[in-house]
Structure 1
Amino acid sequence: MSFREDSDDGRDLRKPFLHTGSWYRMGSRQSSSIMGSAQAIRDSQISVLACVLIVALGPIQFGFTCGYSSPTQSAITKDLSLTVSEFSLFGSLSNVGAMVGAVASGQIAEYMGRKGSLMIASIPNIIGWLCISFAKDSSFLYMGRLLEGFGVGIISYTVPVYIAEIAPQNMRGSLGSVNQLSVTIGIMLAYLLGLFVEWRILAVLGMLPCTILIPGLFFIPESPRWLAKMGMTEDFETSLQVLRGFDTDISIEVNEIKRSVASTTRRTTIRFAELKQRKYWFPLMIGIGLLVLQQISGINGILFYSSTIFETAGIASSNVATVGLGAVQVLATGVTTWLVDKAGRRLLLIVSSTGMTLSLLLVAVAFFLKGFVSADSSFYSILGIIAVVGVVAMVLTFSLGVGAIPWIIMSEILPVSIKGLAGSVATLANWFTSWAVTMTANLLLEWSSGGTFTMYMVVSAFTVAFVTIWVPETKGRTLEEIQWSFR
């Protein structure tokens, strides 16, 4: 069932995708040179890679929003005469906005499509950065941060779902990891640029990812699985053919997708009572569990307050150490992108959470012992170095699996009929937990650094057990095969 076979009647069709936004030519064999060069492009699967690179601008925006508050705190509080508590509120409002965005994300993505959802998310992000850039008082700062958070909440759900739905099964893990890799790149960019430009210019630079994303969305196809669910059969097959290459036989994949959505209607509404069925509650439990455990491991508390943690450990150049921590996170996430389709999701999650447990144990012991050692002793300095090594190791091992893979698995295991509702619930749970951790981490660190890291260690140890007992391996399986396995 080749795309070209359908066009052998000689018609020269040239049109934009009504629902996919990509221009394509499906014609008779007019130019062998064009077809020859196109063959090389198809063989390299450039269509899917290009789509992923374009939507990856959304997670870069996500990361930039997360990292913006760290290098700008002193300048903003000075210029706008803010108190520490007022700036803390500014930082936390992105999580509040993201919770609102998470609630809406599933339904927006279901009714407006994955691309339409990203378009909607980009607009409040751009407006939010403008509000911050031109802020004269705290009210504009707060409004801008809420708008950014709203857009980020939608992006955090939509991008991994879109990537999972367009990617071939042998590339889905690696391409899905690009989502988290882009987030870490965004954080790193905010840290680095914040060292060289003032906060208003940094806010203007924050608009660039979404400003580029909007026109980019017009040149990539919509998710074929969403089109199939909405009953747009012709557009669904066309989108899939463009993604897989014009000469690729897509008949098997088309039939699998059609069979998967055959039991659903265009506007299927799942009642809460139906979630009691194992095929619904089990994948939902896994998705929510992984995303909640990802956050209560304390990662955002560590990243948001890394400077404070390094100062407590006795490191003088805490800002430089924070940038170094961001670099470690980017590199480790890049390794995950390469490993996830080779080692598998489940194994990487177990290795990652086990490494986090051991790293957090090291940090907790170091901080506990510092309380019993004289600050003038050499052992005190050694304990500080051990604590820093443990924090870096925790971020590194987190990035090797727990950072990226929960989003990949969530996008893979949720059945198409409940993906909107269940995805919103899982994303909301993630953002609510992130907000709770971010709000309490500083207070917990003041109470007891050793006690705080001990609690995070217990959560990481529980994550190991959770993955070992309940999380299935999804490597090398189509989305339809994964969803049928829960039946």
Structure 2
Amino acid sequence: MLFGILWSYIKIIWEKRSSRSSSELNADRKWDTTIYQIFISLGPLIFCFSVGAMMGFSGIFLPQLEAGKGQMKTNGDVQSWIASSAVLSMTFFSLFGGFLMEEVGRRSAHIIPAIPGIAGWLTIYFARNISTILIGRILTGISCGLFAPITSAYIGEITSPSLRPFILGCITLSVTSGTLLCHLVGTFYSWRTTAIFCAIFPTIGGILTFFSEETPTWLFRKDRIEDACAAFSRIRGQSEETEKELEVMLEKHKNGGFRSKPLAEITQDLIAKPELFKPLLVVVLYFVSAQFAGINVVTFYAIDVVKLSLGAKFEKSHVTMLGMDFIRVVTSVIACILLKNLKRRHLVVGGGVGCMGCLLTLSFSNFLSRVTENTLLSVYAPLTALLAYVFFISISLVPLPWCLAGELLPQELKGLASSLLCFFSFTAFFIAVKCAPFLFEFLGAGLTYLVFCGSVLFGTTLCWFFLPETKNKTLEEISDTYSER
């Protein structure tokens, strides 16, 4: 239905072109290509809802088990495995995602993960014991791991420089929306109903991806020159700017820039060429710092984090969880706009400083709550800081790494670089989620928040010194930033 509405709209605009002036016609063409780029991005973005749902499911599933609604017995260690098992499988299968996108193409590689995704949610729905729940979680993790390296690469290659940061920012918007919807359904319905609801995301994502385009970059890599030029014209339209960009790509192909290389040669290039390993290293380290900043810990253990921050007697934990989800979604929309209009360093520093201030407030409030029962210090201050923390981290450390992955990763090694990035990032993701309960238990909430603060400080400092400005630059221009040219 959505496809039919969008396609009809595009056809109506196309038919009206003949009666327009040349300036109006150019404006219409630009608008048409913008709509088309958004449309072919919808399938991959709907898949990202699955990631948010996978992350948010344990936040509603574990409290329902503890309340006796699941008729299954668990302990703390089993609960941490329920939360982190999906991340573990996502980590290892992200290595195959890069290989898949190079072999079958960016578009087709988005369709394949729908199968384990649907199977995983159905397995959870029909589960009668913890072992089956874990199998379902692992299958959903496999699905997310396979397409995670592909999405930012795909969007980065099909969108124009002016639109690219906005659509890349929508990756985070989709993930946070998936988490919100999962938590919202799980608050009012059982976890089984939530599981069957979440199966909708990989289903719709797979269907919409059938109507998307293969990227010109991959077609050039496979020596399908005519198909690549035709796809580029359909996706980006025709103008002086796009013609020059296509000429650069044709020249790059002529010089062997899109040539597929054996793994040994790729590895050697990655080690020897600064323009290849430097951007990958910056993005990997920024991703890792984002994971240890605690945002996914808050997502996976939402109810527990609220109780640890505000006290076990706090009676509105579910409302606070939904409030944090809502803030994430709204902030993700704001981040999409800011990524399009502001320089990257401004977002890095502004969001990083805000996060550190909130985490310090949470830490000190936790220490002070032990020696005083003042409501302002024990409830209102940490509640405000927790909500503000979600806001600031959703402005910076959540959307920026995905945006930078689509912009900075070297074109020559997109598959390998994307897989390595996701592998290291998801490894940090798994460690953070698996170890968070033990950190809160042995260090206490106050010291754990200081650990998160140190990670934010590291990521902010790293990007201030080593992050190049990518706003409104083509992928080729960004690539040249790290080379001696």
Q: TM-score, normalised by structure 2?
A: 0.89
Alignment of 1:356-395 (within 5 A): 356-373=355-372, 377=373, 379-395=374-390
Q: CA deviation at 1:32?
A: 5.5
The answer to whether the 8 A contact 1:241-1:248 is kept is no
Q: Which amino acid aligns with 1:83?
A: T
Q: What residue in structure 1 maps to residue 11 of structure 2? A: none
Q: What residue in structure 2 maps to residue 304 of structure 1? A: 300
Number of residue pairs matched by the alignment: 455
Q: What residue in structure 2 maps to residue 10 of structure 1? A: none
The answer to whether the 8 A contact 2:55-2:299 is kept is no
Q: What residue in structure 2 maps to residue 12 of structure 1? A: none
Q: Which moved more, 1:249-258 or 1:326-335?
A: 249-258
Q: CA deviation at 1:86?
A: 2.6
Q: CA deviation at 1:220?
A: 1.4
In structure 1, the residue corresponding to 2:188 is in which secondary structure?
Answer: coil
Alignment of 1:3-402 (within 5 A): 40=28, 43-44=31-32, 45-76=34-65, 78=68, 79-84=70-75, 85-245=77-237, 250-261=242-253, 262-264=255-257, 266-269=259-262, 270-274=265-269, 275-312=271-308, 313-314=310-311, 315-373=314-372, 377=373, 379-402=374-397
Structure 1's 35 and 266: CA in aligned 2 closer, same or farther, altered over 3 A?
A: farther
Q: Which amino acid aligns with 1:355?
A: G
Cα distance in 1 for partners of 2:446, 2:79 equals 26
Cα distance in 1 for partners of 2:163, 2:258 equals 29
Structure 1's 32 and 75: CA in aligned 2 closer, same or farther, altered over 3 A?
A: closer
Q: Which moved more, 1:172-181 or 1:66-75?
A: 66-75
Q: What residue in structure 1 maps to residue 412 of structure 2? A: 417
Cα distance in 2 for partners of 1:246, 1:470 equals 35
Q: Which amino acid aligns with 1:336?
A: A
Q: Which amino acid aligns with 1:268?
A: K
The answer to whether the 8 A contact 1:360-1:457 is kept is yes
Q: Which moved more, 1:259-268 or 1:168-177?
A: 259-268
Q: CA deviation at 1:265?
A: 5.3
Residue-by-residue CA offset, 1:195-224 (whole Å, 9 max, x unaligned): 222222211111111111222112111111
In structure 2, the residue corresponding to 1:164 is in which secondary structure?
Answer: helix
Cα distance in 2 for partners of 1:413, 1:249 equals 21
The answer to whether the aligner puts 1:444 opposite 2:439 as a matched pair is yes
Cα distance in 2 for partners of 1:260, 1:359 equals 47
What residue ranges of structure 1 are gaps of 5+ in the alignment? 1-22, 25-30
Q: Which amino acid aligns with 2:402?
A: W
Residue-by-residue CA offset, 1:301-355 (whole Å, 9 max, x unaligned): 2222232232231332111100101001111111010111211222211211111
Residue-by-residue CA offset, 1:225-253 (whole Å, 9 max, x unaligned): 12112211111111111112367874212
Cα distance in 2 for partners of 1:433, 1:167 equals 29
In structure 2, the residue corresponding to 1:458 is in which secondary structure?
Answer: helix
The answer to whether the 8 A contact 1:80-1:138 is kept is no
Q: What residue in structure 2 maps to residue 17 of structure 1? A: none
The answer to whether the 8 A contact 2:343-2:471 is kept is yes
Cα distance in 2 for partners of 1:486, 1:478 equals 14
Q: Which amino acid aligns with 2:261?
A: T
The answer to whether the 8 A contact 1:350-1:468 is kept is yes
Q: CA deviation at 1:380?
A: 5.0
Q: Which amino acid aligns with 1:474?
A: T
Structure 1's 128 and 351: CA in aligned 2 closer, same or farther, altered over 3 A?
A: same
In structure 2, the residue corresponding to 1:472 is in which secondary structure?
Answer: coil
Q: Which moved more, 1:292-301 or 1:36-45?
A: 36-45
The answer to whether the 8 A contact 1:180-1:333 is kept is yes
Cα distance in 2 for partners of 1:334, 1:253 equals 29
What residue ranges of structure 2 are gaps of 5+ in the alignment? 1-6, 9-13
Residue-by-residue CA offset, 1:55-90 (whole Å, 9 max, x unaligned): 210111111111112112244564342313333322
The answer to whether the 8 A contact 2:97-2:419 is kept is yes
Report percent identity of matched pairs.
24
Q: Which has the larger share of helix? A: 2
